[in-house]
């Protein structure tokens, strides 16, 4: 169980870390909402606004972080609209006081509207260009989205220290075992593997006269559908329209294997399980109980049991189909 937290990452250490690469501030530090890492916004003496990310030490190795940055630079060179880290003293990754950190320009923008089909088509355009740009690109040290990573490992974490009421222990364990079994088939298929964003939801896309993809912290190898399904919301008819818009832009650059539509609900279910495991694993970091107090309540777990039970039934249903001309 992870017990690491950022209790020694004080303003003095952050300022010293930035100064170690020649960055001096003309403002205070504004902490942004980030829990896995710690992220701060500030203005430099030359007026440039920047964001510094201090990575959680025990999650990624230095070589894995270098792969994340190299992927961003590769995509930008292919004209994918993606946020890239700044380089100082010849490097985008820096170490100070036991932390690895990086600096990006502070990029304003607004969120993509999930019901704006023109915006979704533009997002699909960028994702299609991204995926077309990485057909021969690999992330050898960052691993793959897999049944073991997204289902078995978080279930192991949850079972090691159950957060649900004792009265639900047997039922919850049985439900998780059922879901693990149901997900093994679809998530273990030999889908073509691409270097993905990995956490491509609307919160990681800024609209700046077009979409800009940010935060590659979860980039891994995996099937194309992983970068698309989190952009779908609403009932099935709404999701069909959204998917049509996304793929209309996507397929300007690369074909989409429509068999991967069968991955939407398995990937959704796996993310639900993975998210619960992540919260449980990080509960020793004081930032997590403060930000997610409901995680320790009985009502939350009763609701999770209901939602995961519904997902079990959705996994048995036929996959979504596209609307018209596909």
Q: Give me the tens of pLDDT residue by residue for the chain, a chain 326 residues long.
A: 345 678 899 999 999 999 999 999 999 999 998 889 999 999 999 999 999 999 999 899 999 999 999 999 999 999 999 999 999 999 999 999 999 999 999 998 899 998 999 999 999 999 999 999 999 999 999 999 999 999 999 999 999 999 999 999 999 999 999 999 999 999 999 999 999 999 999 999 999 999 999 999 999 999 999 999 999 999 999 999 999 999 999 999 999 999 999 999 999 999 999 999 999 999 989 889 999 999 999 999 999 999 999 999 999 999 998 865 44
At 12, is the secondary structure helix, strand, or coil? helix
Q: Cα 62 to the chain's mean position, in Å?
A: 19
Topology of the domain covering 11-107: Phosphorylase Kinase; domain 1 (3.30.200)
- Which residues are tagged catalytic? 199, 215
Domain boundaries, the chain: 11-107, 117-314
In order, the DSSP letters of 145-174 are --HIIIIIHHHHHHHHS--S-GGGHHHHHH
- Rounded to whole angstroms, how far apart are CA atoms 219 and 64? 10
- Rounded to whole angstroms, how far apart are CA atoms 69 and 83? 10
117-314: CATH homologous superfamily?
A: Transferase(Phosphotransferase) domain 1 (1.10.510.10)
- Rounded to whole angstroms, how far apart are CA atoms 73 and 295? 37
């Amino acid at each position: 169980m992870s017990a690491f937290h950022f209790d020694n990452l004080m303003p003095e250490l952050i300022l010293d870390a930035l100064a170690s690469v020649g960055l001096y501030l003309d403002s205070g530090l504004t902490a942004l909402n980030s829990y896995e890492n710690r992220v701060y916004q500030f203005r430099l003496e030359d007026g440039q606004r920047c964001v510094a990310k201090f990575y959680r030490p025990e999650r990624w190795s230095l070589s894995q972080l270098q792969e994340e940055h190299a992927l961003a630079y590769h995509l930008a060179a292919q004209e994918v609209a993606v946020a890239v880290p700044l380089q100082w003293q010849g490097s985008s990754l820096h170490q100070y006081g036991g932390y690895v950190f990086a600096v990006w320009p502070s990029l304003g923008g607004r969120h993509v509207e999930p019901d704006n089909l023109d915006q979704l088509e533009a997002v699909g355009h960028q994702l299609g260009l991204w995926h077309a740009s990485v057909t021969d690109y690999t992330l050898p040290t960052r691993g793959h989205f897999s049944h073991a990573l997204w289902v078995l490992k978080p279930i192991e974490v949850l079972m090691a220290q159950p957060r649900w009421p004792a009265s639900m222990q047997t039922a919850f364990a049985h439900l998780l075992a059922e879901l693990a079994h149901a997900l093994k088939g679809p998530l273990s298929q030999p889908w073509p593997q691409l270097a993905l964003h990995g956490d491509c939801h609307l919160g990681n896309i800024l609209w700046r006269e077009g979409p800009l993809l940010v935060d590659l912290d979860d980039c891994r190898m995996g099937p194309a559908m992983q970068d698309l399904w989190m952009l779908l919301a609403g009932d099935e008819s709404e999701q069909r329209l959204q998917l049509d818009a996304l793929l209309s832009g996507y397929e300007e650059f690369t074909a989409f294997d429509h068999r991967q539509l069968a991955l939407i609900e398995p990937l959704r279910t796996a993310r639900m399980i993975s998210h619960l495991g992540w919260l449980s694993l990080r509960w020793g970091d004081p930032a997590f109980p403060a930000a997610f107090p409901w995680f320790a309540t009985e009502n939350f777990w009763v609701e999770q049991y209901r939602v995961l039970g519904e997902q079990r039934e959705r996994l048995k249903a036929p996959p979504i189909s596209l609307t018209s001309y596909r």
